[in-house]
Amino acid sequence: MTRRAPRCRYETQPLSGRGHFVFYKREMIPRFGLLCALLALLIFPGLLAAQSDDLVSRIWEGVQQAQKKYTSSCGSITETRTSSLLVKPLVLRGKFCSEGTTRFSLDYFEPSSMRIRFNQNYLNVTNGGKTEVMEIGKSVRRAQSYFGRDTSLGNLRKNFTITAQEGSRDYQMKLVPRTDTFRRRLNYLVVRLDKQNFTLQSLEVDGRSGVNSVFAIDVSSVNPRIPPDMFEVYKPK
């Protein structure tokens, strides 16, 4: 039986008068842009392996070394969101910490506060005094399995057109969906890496819903000792 590719689906919508956004329960994980971005980062090494030219091979080697060297990091994120439904771009600013590919914390503080925690199987999103609890472990593992094992090359060639460019200060990877599985929700992803240390500089997610989000990432510390409670999540009993 043919195995289906994991879907990366999300939907965000501005609230009238305040320009904030909400997450619909029917469009939970993996249907919002941040998780889509996180999944893209988790499967990024597999994506690089989908091409064999010298440039991508160089990037691949650098990413592999960076993953071994930098096991945790903290810094700031600035998300710039544009949409035909927005009068002007919505700019969200926050701070993040990550540990491997299983723990992530993000606190938006502008224009309003939002707390996001991902730990192993669970994702918590706290906004306006309410916390959404989502079990996403299976979705993450399914994406990693589909794109990160022996069959990844064939799967990626089937689902994406991938191009790489080298700039004076960075590398850029653009992923354009080829199949309806991803094309229904996603126009493209663009990943930018620092040319010196191969750390992530930005990630762009352009959705078919008309929402475009660019996550600019500034890593302020690498391999910090992060308190365990930083990634504490609420788990349903």
Q: What's the chain's average pLDDT?
A: 76
Domain 32-231 has CATH 3.40.50.720: no
Between the ranges 12-16, 63-67, 172-176, 215-219, where is the mean pLDDT highest?
A: 215-219
Quick: pLDDT tens for 179-225: 888 888 899 989 899 998 888 899 999 999 899 999 999 999 989 99
pLDDT at 37: 52
Nearest partner of 55 among 161, 166, 160, 162, judged by Cα: 166
DSSP secondary structure string, the chain? -PPPPPP-----EEPTTT--EE--GGG-TT-SHHHHHHHHHHTHHHHHTT--SHHHHHHHHHHHHHHHH-SEEEEEEEEEEE-TT-SS-EEEEEEEEEETTTEEEEEEEESS-EEEEEETTEEEEEETTEEEEEE-HHHHHHHHHHHHSTTHHHHHHHHEEEEEEE-SSEEEEEEEE-SHHHHTTEEEEEEEEETTT--EEEEEEEETTS-EEEEEEEEEEES----GGGG------
At 186, the amino acid letter reads L
Quick: pLDDT tens for 38-94: 545 544 544 444 444 677 677 767 777 777 788 889 999 999 999 988 999 999 999
Q: Please state the rounded mean pLDDT for residues 140-159.
A: 61
Nearest-angstrom CA–CA distance, 216 and 96:
12
Asked if pLDDT for residue 111 goes beyond 70, the answer is yes
Nearest-angstrom CA–CA distance, 201 and 90:
20
Nearest-angstrom CA–CA distance, 134 and 233:
10
Nearest partner of 217 among 119, 70, 92, 82, judged by Cα: 92
pLDDT at 224: 93
> Where in the chain are the domains?
32-231
- CA 87 from chain center: how many Å? 25
CB neighbour class for 139 (10 Å; exposed up to 12, middle 13-18, buried from 19) = buried
Asked if pLDDT for residue 26 goes beyond 70, the answer is no
pLDDT at 14: 35
Q: What's the pLDDT band for 101 if we cut at 50, 70, 90? A: confident
Asked if pLDDT for residue 21 goes beyond 70, the answer is no
pLDDT at 12: 35
pLDDT at 8: 46
Share of the chain above pLDDT 90, in %: 33
CB neighbours of residue 38 within 10 Å: 23
Share of the chain above pLDDT 70, in %: 69
Q: What's the pLDDT band for 6 if we cut at 50, 70, 90? A: low
